[in-house]
Amino acid sequence: MEKELRLELDTIINTSNNNITITDENGIILRSNREHWKMYDIEEGSYIGTSIYELEKKGILSPSINALVLKEKKVVQVLQHTKSGHVIMSTGYPVFNKEGQLIRAISYSQDQTEIYRLQEQYEQLQSKVAGFQAEVEELRGKEASQHPILFRSSKMKQIITTIQRVAKSDATILFLGASGVGKSTLARYIHDRSERHKEPFIEVNCSTIPETLFESEMFGYEPGSFTGAHKSGRKGLIEQADQGTLFLDEIGELPLSIQVKLLKVLQEKKMTRVGGKVEHLVNFRLITATNQPLKEMVDEGKFRLDLYYRLNVIPISIPPLHERQDDIVILLQHYLQIMNEKHHSTKKLHPSTYHQLVQYKWPGNVREMENILERLVLTIEDPIIRPEHLPLELQSNIKETVESSHYEQDMVEKKSLKEAVEEVEIQMLSRAKKQCKTTYEMAELLQISQPTVIYKLKKYKNHLQ
């Protein structure tokens, strides 16, 4: 029976994927499977009956897991590195008899060289990927810093989603919206994300070209075609945009005579320079923009209906800034920072100023905001821009929104004085937190002590944005 048990045990040990070694309480190897010795680069099975302490001394096992179990009298796990570079994970278990005496140590070892090699490769790849990611971020940052589009409002989110969807196609886009809402910036944004991004982006403001020069500017001219013309002739803006994007801003200002010619180019994809006979093939994506009611102009006979249809393939209306209050908030922060950096200043907006600017109607939209912030940063001596520093038009042209009147009503009718004060404190702290890097700066801005800032930040920590 004992013989059969031994046979069973030997079979289990020799067929196990783990490498098993059993020693007695003196560290003499009683059993071990063949695999065990292969891992240690020594002859298989030849160490049965040998002391593990001797093998340790010879440096064959370093350390011996069984020796550790006999010493510690508990479960031990070690990672061994063999002479030939194998990495082995060994776990040893003590075996006690009924009297609690340690009589055996059993260890299971697994060659994990391959796993460690793969892990090393994985870590190397990960660090390479991190490097590439950093490069991509840097490039994205560079691109974004050239033409940044900041938005948080749901209206702009929708617009950007549409733009991203159509950017890669060659579809003609017509931007509608007031001056300064970002039509040119968005046109550039589309070009940068289109297949044509490596080709030229030619921006033409149709309102700045005198009617008499329009044709030669747009279509170019052949040598000697008119008095004052360049001797060697010149490429027009359309030819310059070949393979790239032609952005015609203020398209409503395009003279009727040029409208016919532009329509022909769009239909035939070729054009002739002024004074020339040769037809040049042109391939460009057209984006146009206007702040005029183009459809009404068509009805009044000031704009050609056929051209209008050609341009109006994907019309995108950009709402005025005062309809995008969430955008005002981030644009204020962004442009204050830009102006501070530009003029080596560290000006901050007093929370009341901030509130006033958020409520302002911004008839000149983002461009007006840039100008006003630059003016304030440059002309106000006080490090904090207070409401009284704002230009007069800004103090009187505050938007009366439905939300704000509701808000005031809420404050008066529904809230206790304590709740109303807390709400104002939360708003002022949130704004100050966005603008300031330290609680000392916040204290200065809010004109309270720094410990009070700390106290209030803690108090409202679940309410601050």
Ligand X SMILES: Nc1ncnc2c1ncn2[C@@H]1O[C@H](COP(=O)(O)OP(=O)(O)OP(=O)(O)O)[C@@H](O)[C@H]1O
Shortest distance (Å) from residue 321 CB to ligand X = 8
Q: Are strands 270-272 and 279-281 parallel, antiparallel or unpaired?
A: antiparallel
- Is 333 a binder of ligand X (CB under 6 A)? no
- 424's tokens: 């104002």
Half-sphere exposure of 50 (CA within 13 A, CB side): 17
Strand ranges of the sheet holding 314-317, from the earlier edge strand across to the other edge: 201-205, 245-249, 285-290, 173-176, 314-317
Q: Toward ligand X, which CB reaches closer, 262 or 369? A: 369
Q: Return the SS3 of 341.
A: helix
Is residue 368 close enough to count as binding ligand X by CB under 6 A?
A: no
How far apart are alpha carbons 285 and 169 in whole angstroms?
A: 9
Comparison of 142 and 458: residue with beta carbon closer to ligand X? 142
Looking at 24-32, 158-166, 355-363, 366-374, which segment touches ligand X (CB under 6 A)? 366-374
Q: Is 371 in the site for ligand X (CB under 6 A)?
A: no
Nearer to ligand X, 185 or 340 (CB): 185
- List helix spans (H) across 16-112: 34-39, 52-57, 65-72
163 touches ligand X (CB under 6 A):
no
Please, which residues have CB within 8 angstroms of residue 146's CB and are 6 or more apart in sequence?
Answer: none
Q: Rounded to the nearest whole angstrom, what is the least distance from the CB of residue 402 to ligand X in the complex?
A: 24
Q: Please report, as residue ranges, which positions from 45 to 84 form the binding site for ligand X (by CB under 6 A).
A: none
Of 172, 184, 272, 430, which one interacts with ligand X (CB under 6 A)?
A: 184
d(CA 462, CA 456): 11
Q: Which is nearer to ligand X, 149 or 426 (CB)?
A: 149
CB of 213 to ligand X, least distance (A): 20
Least distance (Å) between residue 429 CB and ligand X: 26
What is the number of the residue whose Cβ is closest to ligand X?
Answer: 182
Taking CB under 6 A as the criterion, the residue among 22, 95, 149, 448 binding ligand X is 149
The least distance separating ligand X from the CB of residue 159, rounded to whole angstroms, comes to: 10
Q: Report the alpha-carbon distance of residue 454 to residue 447 in Å, rounded.
A: 13
* Binding of ligand X by 249 (CB under 6 A): yes
| Identified binder of ligand X from the candidate list 27, 92, 94, 180, rule CB under 6 A | 180
Rounded to whole angstroms, how far apart are CA atoms 266 and 239? 13
Prior bond of 63 cis (ω within 30°):
yes
* Interface residue with ligand X, options 116, 151, 308, 460 (CB under 6 A): 151
**Which one of 183, 196, 304, 431 is in contact with ligand X (CB under 6 A)?**
183
Alpha-helix residue ranges (DSSP H) falling in 391-438: 392-396, 402-409, 417-435
Q: By C-alpha distance, which of 372, 385, 392, 389 is closest to 345?
A: 385
144 binding ligand X? (CB under 6 A)? no
Within 282-311, the residues that bind ligand X by CB under 6 A are 291
Least Å distance, CB 149 to ligand X, is 5
Joined tokens for residue 256: 């009727």
Which residues contact ligand X by CB under 6 A? 148-151, 177, 179-185, 249, 291, 331, 366-367, 370
